[in-house]
Amino acid sequence: MARIKIDQLSTVYPNGVRAVDSLDLEIADGEFFALLGPSGCGKTTLLRTIAGLEQASGGSVSIGDKDVTSFEPGRRNVAMVFQDYALFPHMTVSENIAYPLKVRRQPKTRQREVAERTAGSLSLGGLLERRPGQLSGGQQQRVALARAVAIDADVLLLDEPLSNLDARLRLEARTFLKRLQKDIGITTVFVTHDQAEALALADRIAVMEAGRIRQLGSPRDVFRRP
Ligand code: ADP
Ligand code: ADP
């Protein structure tokens, strides 16, 4: 758990596109925060810059009381779920969820324990020995979430994690996501271009436009008709 503080952050791609442009933003400890806006406005780039997957061209990112601007992604204690989940097809659900622990050389008993607990909280308990190919889209999405939170990260970054689901599964996934976030109290930044999704999930919403924040507030503030 941690607050995220972004000061005058810019991310410029080698082709000169200024995808994030002198952006200021503070996200509270434990907040569920949505980044909303049309395709190309810079949401993914902002998320990737917080994660350290893109290098900031200017400004700073702090997580908790640490300025992480120059930290490698692995040292930021951030978990990220992408649009395409990227599960390992040859591993079981249990092995997928425990993978981050394996990489960190945690004991096998600990890997198993965390996989079981995390799977349980996302209603995947009966599926631990299956492989991703034997799961529905909604189940795969929950495995990706479980894998992301298996390490005790400070921050959870979600890049349109529900966009590949049909309408019914999306509703179900929203419920899981909200419950998970509440259970572990993790600071969450959620990228979407779907207003209903932001409205259903977020404590606060930032609407982005051309690399900047155009509007910021509670769902009620942001969606109130003028
Ligand atoms: P969003 O997530 O809101 O759709 P992106 O962050 O993906 O927006 O993109 C913001 C801008 O940066 C767009 O103009 C996009 O074309 C550009 N962009 C994204 N990724 C790259 C990249 N790897 N190289 C160059 N330009 C990029
Ligand atoms: P998103 O909106 O979620 O970023 P996109 O379809 O815009 O998805 O981008 C998919 C991939 O292509 C990303 O890895 C992004 O960095 C890259 N990309 C996007 N725009 C550009 C661009 N103008 N030049 C180079 N790469 C880009």
Residue 144 in contact with residue 85, Cβ under 8 Å? Answer: yes
Please identify, by atom number, the ligand 2 atom nearest to the C-alpha of residue 160: 3
**In this prediction, does ipTM exceed 0.85?**
no
State how far Cα 68 lies from the chain centre.
17
> 16 CB less than 6 Å from ligand 2?
no
Residue 110 CA to ligand 2 center (angstroms) comes to 37
> 83 CB less than 6 Å from ligand 1?
no
What local confidence, expressed as pLDDT, does residue 1 receive? 60
DSSP labels, 77-125: -EEEE-TT----TTS-HHHHHHHHHHHTT--HHHHHHHHHHHHHHTT-G
Residue 209 CA to ligand 2 center (angstroms) comes to 16
β-strands 66-67, 204-209 pairing? unpaired
Residue 54 CA to ligand 2 center (angstroms) comes to 12
- For 202-210, what is the mean pLDDT? 96
Please identify, by atom number, the ligand 1 atom nearest to the C-alpha of residue 191: 2
CA dist 29 and 42 (Å) reads 23
**Band of pLDDT at residue 225, cut at 50, 70 and 90:** low
Residue 170 CA to ligand 2 center (angstroms) comes to 23
> 193 CB less than 6 Å from ligand 1?
no
Residue 6 in contact with residue 26, Cβ under 8 Å? Answer: yes
Place of tokens 């419920």: 175
Residue 39 CA to ligand 2 center (angstroms) comes to 10
pLDDT tens per residue across span 79-135: 988 877 789 999 999 999 999 899 889 999 999 999 999 898 888 989 999 999 999
Question: What's at 62, amino acid-wise?
Answer: S
> 17 CB less than 6 Å from ligand 1?
yes
> 41 CB less than 6 Å from ligand 1?
yes
Percentage helix, strand, coil, to 5, in the chain? 40, 25, 35
Q: Which residues contact 1 (CB under 8 A, 6 or more apart)?
A: 29, 30, 154, 185, 186, 187
Give pTM, 2 decimals: 0.88
pLDDT tens per residue across span 34-68: 999 999 999 999 999 999 999 999 999 999 999 99
Residue 21: Cβ-neighbour burial (10 angstroms; 0-12, 13-18, 19+): buried
> 44 CB less than 6 Å from ligand 2?
yes
pLDDT tens per residue across span 1-25: 689 999 999 999 999 999 999 999 9
